[in-house]
Structure 1
Amino acid sequence: MAVHRQPGTVLTDHAFAVPLDHDAPDGEQIEVYAREVVAAGRQDDRLPWLLYLQGGPGGRSPRPLGRDGWLTRALDDYRVLLLDQRGTGRSTPASRQTLPGRGDAAAQARYLAHFRADSIIRDCEVIRRRLLGADGRWSVLGQSFGGFCAVTYLSFAPEGLREVLITGGLPGLRSSAEEVYRAAYPRIERKNLGHYARYPEDVGTVREIVRHLNDGKIALPGGGRLTPEAFQSLGAMLGSADGSHTLHYLIEDAFVPGLSVPVLSDSFLSEVQTHLSFAGNPLYAVLHEAIYGQRSVSPGGTDWAADRVRREFPQFDAAGAAAQDRPVLFTGETIHPWMFATDPALAPLHETAELLAHRGQWPDLYRPERLARNEVPVAAAIYHDDMYVDTADSLATARAVQNLRTWVTDEYEHDGLRVSGGRVLDRLVRLVRGES
């Protein structure tokens, strides 16, 4: 195990062999990586463990730079384990570079069917037993999709949990993918209107960009294509604390000044490439809708729900808005089939993604009857107008899970844990302990 020191912290690498399919424990094994973080000088103390489950799907755990961010608060009380969920980071990878080794698209889809929350929490149980022993319990902090995983954990293996802290990640227990996106598009529209009220000059510039993109094929530096729909998907950043400002600065530098004809600047295209490419987290695109698949809710599969539901909201038609001098609305955390044609990192996975979109009979991820009898203390931050997770769904789930306390706030957006300097985590710790 490699051990490193950073300002105020000691980091230890861990690697665990786990079954690809936990129902076949003697079958193929994959590796799951995790990084232990403890406050300097406390590495020999008997501290309780805090497992961190990252948002996503497909997101690796944070890479700390010493005692920073929410770790500042966590390391006061805990020994933290930052998990690279299966397929991400330093765990056995799943990407366009590795998946062809599994075989054809059907074989790849069968493989990736083992990369949802139900498999992730069974990985966690293997790791818990190896680090803490069979009877040891640890705390879990779940951000966004990590919160979804935490609710799955409460549903299937609560005996391993001491307490659960959730930020922006209480899922609808019985919500289909269609229902999730039908509720999402109006929230996304509100975020757009808020952005344009803040930066009214962006209305005209965005229309001009869309008209320019309609006129021809614009290549991105990484080889992808910038279409009006791809440009609209930059709106995914509108749900974060600084996303609107970041989007504005991107838009204001879109065109090269001083030319007789409009030309999109290299700096603009380079930054757009950074935001749109799924090279760093392909599982986010490939498995995003699968996180809502449950046989008792949608036995036929998800079937590109975000793309189908978008047709119910014609105000998101970019070409129509530009032609009629209406504000062009950005989209949000939605995945569409065309992304697998415009992004080189996803193109080799197009057929695999199609098979997963049409895959039915996904196992259920939550047990409402067990959650109704939950005895593990849970505290959850619910962000008042969260663009990514429906507030109504979160509140309904909060009512359905026994022993769960909520903190509903409009002080932060979805990334409150990241930007609050430990304040969100501190509030949840005090809440779960009954101190607040």
Structure 2
Amino acid sequence: MASLKDEGLHKSHDITMSPWALQQYDEPGDHDLPATFDIDYQNLSLLLQEAAILYPQCAKPKLYPAIQPYTPVTVTTPVVPIRSVAVSTKDPFSEGNRSDQGPTHTTDYREYDTPAVPLRRKDNRLPLSVSMSSRQKTSTEGLWAGIKPAVLLGIKPRQANKDGHTFRTLEFQVPLSHHHHHSTSQKDALLNLHAELVDSFPNPNPTTPDAPSSPISPQKPFTLYLCGGPGDGNPSGKVPELNKFCINRGYQVLYVHYRGTGLSPLFFDSTAKAKVLNMSDHDKANYLAKFRQDNIVRDLEAIRLCLEKELATNIKWTLICQSFGGWVATTYLSFLPRSLEAVYISAGMPPLGKTPREVYEKTYVHIVRRNEDYFNEYFPEDQEHVRTIIEYLRDKAPLQGGVEGQSAPFRGYELYGENGERKGCYLTYQTFMTLGRTFGSAPVIRRDSDEDGDEEEEPISLTSSIGPKKIPLPYQKLHRLITSFVSDLGDHSMSSSKSNAESTISKETLSLYTNLESFALHRRPLYALLHEAIYCSSTCLQTSQPSDWAAIDVALSHPSGAFSWLSRPSTTTTITIPSKKFYFTGETLHPAPLLSPLGGPALTPFLGAADILARKADWPALYDFCSLRQNQNPAREEEGEEKGMTKVKVRAVAYKQDMYVDLGLSQLAAKFIGGCELVVCPFGSWGHGSLKEVGKTGRVLGWLFDGF
């Protein structure tokens, strides 16, 4: 594409649509379109930059005509997907419509200027030629401006967390929907948020308690730790070395439990809970849709504004992000960059511009590789043992009366907590096969085809002649569980003539399974309900696509056939066990009946809503690619704050062996963000959770804060 000269960036010119372009519309009335449109070259330039990143295979000069200022252009180019278009007859220099007033773009086009012509092709794609003259500033303001400070409900006296640091508890109140302000009497429209502020080392004189009213320091900068998820709580003692690192550098560290997680309840109170649970599935889905990362960011911004008001000082967050926390931070950086001082991400670069299916295609590469390591290199005998276990659980385990939300009873074992309390969750053959999620902390065996790296720590190599194989701990634990299952079943396999009552799984084995099962959906249902939704986002080039349980589709289409034990809820035929090999799944969630036994009563009321969320195709934008690209843009650095530019330091660490966040997608995401420094961890055996691991936290934080 020819360069767009500065003097022509804000001019409006005619673009004539070709007959070929007009023929792409479905209805006859769609052909009666205006022949010319306004075009804002500044926004078109940003649009084409985004297109080049999202669709690199199309980003070749020969595919685009040379667009020259002041020259009418006949558009006969190929098309790229665009969500929708604002067709405008406004003067681009009129008040409120000037592109030189700073970034006014948005990725949410809900309103059209007159004439209201949504130029949508029959294949839901739009011609690149259409005007982007006004980026709908009002839409951005409606969705991201006007966030009000949270209500500070109270501050509790300091206490010590498990790592010895002192913290105080802060309770906030925020609206369920930040751009729809409700009366405080509408309790179902409010949420309470729990936060813990670590600001000092332990009291050197335990006999002298801290004063309950000791103030929060307005001088110390704030570090905000964003944990993984979605659905996890965020206690202040989770990463002890992080607290020590930050306090030594003069920070106070705020841990916020995201809305609906941990000590921030999913409902305002029991009355609101009853009201939501009595809603239709569609209304429940609308309620749950407000718990993604975009509204988490609004909550965090409301807390920041509240603290600014309480402390009478300006506050900018320094974000330290683990896994899903990086998703949250990137949304924050997209829409509210002025609130941030720096963003530091470990194993949490979101897959920008990728659909859920594209993400899971990468995920299953890692899942298959670890299954191959387990079954081919460490415990080949377990392939047949696992077959025996799942056949027993599928056909001979005790028949359960069914879980609320399921259409039929199923076979499995009810699970209990450490104190014998009922959890409402079950072990079934499908939940057993989700144990591959624990493989994420196991190093991958080096293949000959792997690229060499400058690693100080070598990954496991089975070709070494020095000593026996070193078996990763996750594989050891799974093998121990499988061995315990086999011991319980004895000769009671499918070929046995023993009755069901004579084949049983011991409490010890069930306890081993409970300790190894890591989804814990009974205490974090949002993980199951929103796990695929966190990948759904609109852009100005593409509508959001429904997740549609993408993980199970990718698994069932895998050429190995090793995941054919999975099924969609509509499947009524008996599931057959693969004849050759079968694999465990990883960090992937699948529809009922899998989710219901796994999540228990906390999840089952929302299974109908989960299917609706999986079909939802109008998710709002989670990222503003143009805003991300402009962060720390050297070419416009001199414009500074006058032009709305921000300078947020962004550093990230990615890991070669990360099973949960693909390295290639992380590297691609870094290219979207201006000024982002990303390094691949040089230690081959380090992985997804290294930021949280004792002995590694300080090293990772040093890279993030000080550079690599």
Same topology, TM > 0.5: yes
1:92-114 C-alpha deviation (Å, 9 max, x unpaired): 3259x875521222222111111
**Does the residue aligned with 2:341 lie in a helix, a strand or coil?**
strand
Residue 174 of structure 1 deviates from its aligned partner by 0.6
In structure 1, the residue matched to 2:208 is none
Q: What amino acid does structure 2 have at the position aligned with 1:219?
A: Y
Q: Which aligned pairs between 1:178-217 and structure 2 lie closer than 5 A?
A: 178-196=357-375, 197-216=377-396, 217=411
Q: Which of 234, 243, 251 is 1:61 aligned to?
A: 234
In structure 2, the residue matched to 1:37 is 198
| Aligned equivalents of 2:622, 2:168: Cα separation in 1 | 31
| Aligned equivalents of 1:413, 1:118: Cα separation in 2 | 27
In structure 2, the residue matched to 1:312 is 557
Residue 378 of structure 1 pairs with residue 650 of structure 2 = yes
In structure 1, the residue matched to 2:242 is 70
* Contact persistence 1:382–1:408 (CA under 8 A): yes
Aligned residues: 431
* Contact persistence 1:117–1:149 (CA under 8 A): yes
Q: What amino acid does structure 2 have at the position aligned with 1:114?
A: K
In structure 2, the residue matched to 1:433 is 706
* Contact persistence 2:589–2:595 (CA under 8 A): no
Q: Which of 347, 351, 355 is 2:608 aligned to?
A: 351
TM-score, with length taken from structure 1: 0.90
Cα 1:45–1:355 change in 2 (3 A) is: closer
Q: What amino acid does structure 2 have at the position aligned with 1:335?
A: L
| Aligned equivalents of 2:289, 2:258: Cα separation in 1 | 14
* Contact persistence 2:357–2:551 (CA under 8 A): yes
Give the stretch that moved more between structures: 310-319 or 282-291: 310-319
In structure 1, the residue matched to 2:583 is 329
Residue 417 of structure 1 deviates from its aligned partner by 1.2
Residue 419 of structure 1 deviates from its aligned partner by 1.4
Residue 293 of structure 1 deviates from its aligned partner by 1.2
| Aligned equivalents of 1:324, 1:307: Cα separation in 2 | 20
| Aligned equivalents of 1:47, 1:377: Cα separation in 2 | 19
| Aligned equivalents of 2:586, 2:237: Cα separation in 1 | 27
Max Rg structure: 2
Cα 1:249–1:101 change in 2 (3 A) is: farther
Instruction: Give the structure with the larger helix fraction.
Output: 1
**Does the residue aligned with 2:350 lie in a helix, a strand or coil?**
coil
In structure 1, the residue matched to 2:693 is 419
In structure 1, the residue matched to 2:286 is 110
* Contact persistence 2:196–2:255 (CA under 8 A): yes
TM-score, with length taken from structure 2: 0.57
| Aligned equivalents of 1:349, 1:427: Cα separation in 2 | 38
Q: Which of 342, 358, 363 is 2:597 aligned to?
A: 342
Bigger relative contact order (CA 8 A; separation at least 6): 1
* Contact persistence 2:241–2:698 (CA under 8 A): no
| Aligned equivalents of 1:321, 1:37: Cα separation in 2 | 53
Q: Which aligned pairs between 1:16-415 and structure 2 lie closer than 5 A?
A: 16-27=172-183, 28-40=189-201, 46-64=219-237, 68-77=240-249, 78-93=251-266, 99-102=273-276, 103-133=279-309, 135-196=314-375, 197-216=377-396, 217-221=411-415, 222-240=423-441, 242-256=473-487, 260-261=491-492, 263-273=504-514, 275=517, 277-296=520-539, 297-313=542-558, 314-318=561-565, 324-326=579-581, 328-338=582-592, 339-343=594-598, 344-345=600-601, 346-374=603-631, 375-409=647-681, 410-415=684-689
1:113-165 C-alpha deviation (Å, 9 max, x unpaired): 11111100111111112224573112111111111111111101111111111
**Does the residue aligned with 2:329 lie in a helix, a strand or coil?**
helix
Q: CA RMSD in A?
A: 2.7
* Contact persistence 1:39–1:76 (CA under 8 A): no
Residue 252 of structure 1 deviates from its aligned partner by 2.8
Which consecutive segments of 4 or more residues in structure 1 shift more than 6 A? none
Q: What amino acid does structure 1 have at the position aligned with 2:549?
A: W
In structure 1, the residue matched to 2:66 is none
Cα 1:370–1:245 change in 2 (3 A) is: farther
